[in-house]
């Protein structure tokens, strides 16, 4: 009987490895993919993307690669689950003052090893033109469905920090996808 096992053992090992590999590939495909639309060469499907000042870091399997910003037309994130397909912003409640921004910046730097991509800290010219009092708001240039955006939203919810997350532009309210940290900005009086 032991001679039979000696002959079958390598075959059984190969068969078992094949099943494990097939299961791992199936599990990997369950995670929604992010698509980089590249200049002149079409789409590149990746597992994860994070934005840097001069380009994008993307991950495929266990390999992380950098691509220059000028090679990327746009980043397409997976559609959220059916319950969150509304174009309405996602909203979280809590207490906030702009002085608490350091807590959010420290979280992001600790988790992603890069600074929080702040697009507006307090009042900006655009907020003034649109008639919003944004003095106590902080806008972060992250898509709420990206890995970094989802992690930031989870942190804000855990810490009871109010926010609004925009998946796209809203005329007179948002120029594109971003996460507004703080309470809703009131209209500037006299408008």
Q: Going by C-beta distance under 8 Å and a sequence separation of 6 or more, which residues neighbour residue 42?
A: none
How large is the average pLDDT for residues 79-85? 51
- For residue 83, the model assigns a pLDDT of 43
- pLDDT tier for residue 12 given thresholds of 50, 70 and 90: low
Query: How far does the chain reach from its first CA to its final CA, in angstroms?
Result: 90
Q: Mind listing the pLDDT tens digit for each residue in 101-148?
A: 999 999 999 999 999 999 999 898 888 888 888 888 999 999 999 989
DSSP string computed for 61-99: TTEEEEEEGGGEEEEEPPPPPGGG--SSPEEE-----GG
Beta bridge partners of 170: 174
């Amino acid at each position: 009987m032991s001679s039979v096992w000696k002959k079958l053992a390598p075959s059984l090992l190969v068969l078992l490895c094949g099943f494990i590999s097939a299961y791992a590939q199936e599990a990997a495909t369950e995670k929604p993919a992010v698509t980089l639309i590249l200049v002149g060469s079409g789409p590149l499907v990746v597992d994860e993307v994070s934005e840097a000042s001069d380009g994008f870091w993307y991950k495929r399997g266990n390999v992380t690669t950098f691509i220059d910003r000028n090679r990327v037309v746009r980043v397409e994130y997976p559609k959220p689950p059916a319950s969150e397909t509304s174009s309405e912003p996602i909203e979280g409640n809590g207490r906030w003052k702009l002085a608490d921004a350091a807590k959010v910046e420290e979280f992001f730097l600790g988790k992603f090893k890069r600074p929080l991509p702040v697009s507006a800290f307090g009042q900006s010219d655009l907020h003034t033109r649109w008639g919003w009092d944004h003095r106590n708001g902080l806008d972060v240039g992250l898509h709420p469905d990206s890995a970094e955006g989802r992690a930031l939203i989870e942190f804000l919810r855990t810490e009871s920090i109010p926010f609004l997350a925009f998946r796209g532009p809203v005329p007179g309210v948002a120029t594109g996808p971003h996460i507004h940290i703080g309470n809703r900005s009131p209209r500037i009086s006299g408008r």
